[in-house]
Amino acid sequence: MKAIAEKLNAANIDEAIERVLQVTCGELAYPLNWRGSPAIERHLKIFKWWDGFFLTDEGEKQYGWLLPNQTAITKKGICIDTACFCGTLLRILKVDAYVVLGAIMDSKTKSLLGFHAWVAARKSDGKQVLLETTIHPVTPPLIPVEEAYEGRLKVQYDPILWFNEAEYQEDEKKVQKYERILEQHIA
């Protein structure tokens, strides 16, 4: 990961944020299985002569996260994998950044669509931006966190917990809120 970070030749924090997002979105891909569903399972097969292909209906159907170096090698990852990859590169480049786990809601209806992972990084002017790491191969713009968290996009990002290599923090009220929603859903 250090070698990837060094290759980016970022002169300052803002450049580092932009280049890390570029490499995350440009060089990685979102894994889909042959049914077109996200390949969330960690049983994978890669055929070099097919430029990578996941066969997820074979073997154990388990959910797991890839380590950033595993993502770098497989070149594929779901939200949490690419967010951890992006977050790690930013932290190596001394950027104030966190991997954030949260909920995605429809901005209009406020209905819960699912849970997601993204990266929040602080630019040199002190403003926080959201890095959406699951858009491939185009690089999405940096989104001011207020826009994403206040529902000014089509989907609303709601952060629940955030972490980097130094700390882990969670919004207890939100954890309880979403756990209640999930309990009702399961019941």
Partner 1 sequence: MSGSLSSTSRKPSLILEAMTSSMSELKKQKAIWDSFGVTKFYEKQKEEQKKLMQELRKARAKKAVQKRVLTKIRKKAK
By the 8 A CB rule, do 157 and 146 touch?
no
Per-residue b/e over 10-26, b at no fewer than 16 CB within 10 Å?
Answer: beebbebbbbbbebbbe
**Beta carbons of 46 and 56 less than 8 angstroms apart:** no
8 binds partner 1 (CB under 8 A): no
Q: By CB under 8 A, which span of 2-10, 14-22, 83-91, 167-175 interacts with partner 1? A: 167-175
Sites for partner 1 among residues 95-114 (CB under 8 A): 98, 101, 104, 106, 113-114
Q: Does 36 bind partner 1 (CB under 8 A)?
A: yes
Does position 81 bind partner 1 by CB under 8 A?
A: no
Q: CA-CA distances (angstroms) from residue 19 to 25, 27, 64, 152?
A: 10, 12, 27, 25
**How far is C-alpha 166 from the geometric centre of its chain's CA atoms?**
18
- Closest separation in Å from C-beta 48 to partner 1: 14
Distance of alpha carbon 99 from alpha carbon 159, whole angstroms: 10
182 binds partner 1, rule: CB under 8 A:
yes
Contact at 8 Å (CB) between 102 and 159? yes
Of 5 and 97, CB closest to partner 1 = 97
Total interface residues for partner 1 by CB under 8 A = 53
* Interface contacts to partner 1, rule CB under 8 A: 29-30, 32-34, 36-40, 50, 53, 63, 78-80, 98, 101, 104, 106, 113-116, 120, 128, 132, 134-138, 140, 153-155, 159-162, 167-175, 178-179, 182-183
